[in-house]
Amino acid sequence: MKAVKSPQKEVHLKIRKVDFQYSEIPRFYYENNPFSTHFINTLHLLFPDGERFFIDSMIRYKQDIDDPKLKKDIKMFCGQEGIHGVEHEKIVKILTEKGYKTKPFLDIVKGTLKRADKIGTKVAGKSGPLILTVCLEHFTALFAEGMLQNIDISKADPQIAELFQWHAAEELEHKCVAFDLLQEVDGNEYAKRVVLMPIVSFLLYAYIGAGTAYFLTQDRENLEVKKLPQQLNSFVFKFLRQFHSSGVAKWLDFFKRDFHPNHHDNYHLAEAFLEGKRYA
Should residue 138 be labelled a site residue for Fe ion when binding is judged by CB under 5 A? no
Should residue 84 be labelled a site residue for Fe ion when binding is judged by CB under 5 A? yes
User: Are 74 and 15 in contact, with CB atoms under 8 Å apart?
Assistant: no
* CA 180, chain centre distance (Å): 18
Between 82 and 184, whose beta carbon lies closer to Fe ion? 82
For residue 36, which of 225, 222, 215, 221 has the smallest C-alpha distance? 215
CA of 184: how far to CAs of 5, 61, 75, 179, in Å?
Answer: 10, 10, 16, 9
Between 105 and 166, whose beta carbon lies closer to Fe ion? 166
CA of 201: how far to CAs of 139, 146, 250, 255, in Å?
Answer: 8, 17, 14, 13
Between 71 and 238, whose beta carbon lies closer to Fe ion? 71
CB of 179 to Fe ion, least distance (A): 11
CA of 28: how far to CAs of 45, 159, 165, 170, 276, in Å?
Answer: 16, 13, 18, 26, 29
117 burial type by CB count under 10 A (0-12 exposed, 13-18 middle, 19+ buried) = middle
Find the residue with minimal CB distance to Fe ion: 84
CB of 165 to Fe ion, least distance (A): 13
Between 102 and 140, whose beta carbon lies closer to Fe ion? 140
Between 38 and 84, whose beta carbon lies closer to Fe ion? 84
Query: Residue 62 and residue 16: Cα distance in Å, rounded?
Result: 22
Between 216 and 270, whose beta carbon lies closer to Fe ion? 270
CB of 136 to Fe ion, least distance (A): 8
Stretch that binds Fe ion, among 25-33, 76-84, 145-153, 232-240 (CB under 5 A): 76-84
CA angle 175, 51, 87 (to 5 degrees): 100
Should residue 44 be labelled a site residue for Fe ion when binding is judged by CB under 5 A? no
Residues numbered 170-199 forming contacts with Fe ion, rule: CB under 5 A = 171
Query: Which residues share a beta bridge with 30?
Result: 156
Between 231 and 264, whose beta carbon lies closer to Fe ion? 264
Between 37 and 140, whose beta carbon lies closer to Fe ion? 140
For residue 111, which of 192, 53, 42 has the smallest C-alpha distance? 53
- Residue 28 three-state SS: coil
CB of 230 to Fe ion, least distance (A): 32
- Residue 214 three-state SS: helix
Residues numbered 188-247 forming contacts with Fe ion, rule: CB under 5 A = none
Stretch that binds Fe ion, among 7-15, 25-33, 135-143, 185-193 (CB under 5 A): 135-143
Query: Residue 55 and residue 79: Cα distance in Å, rounded?
Result: 9
Stretch that binds Fe ion, among 10-18, 91-99, 137-145, 265-273 (CB under 5 A): 137-145
CB of 51 to Fe ion, least distance (A): 5
Provide the binding-site residues for Fe ion, judged by CB under 5 A: 81, 84, 140, 171
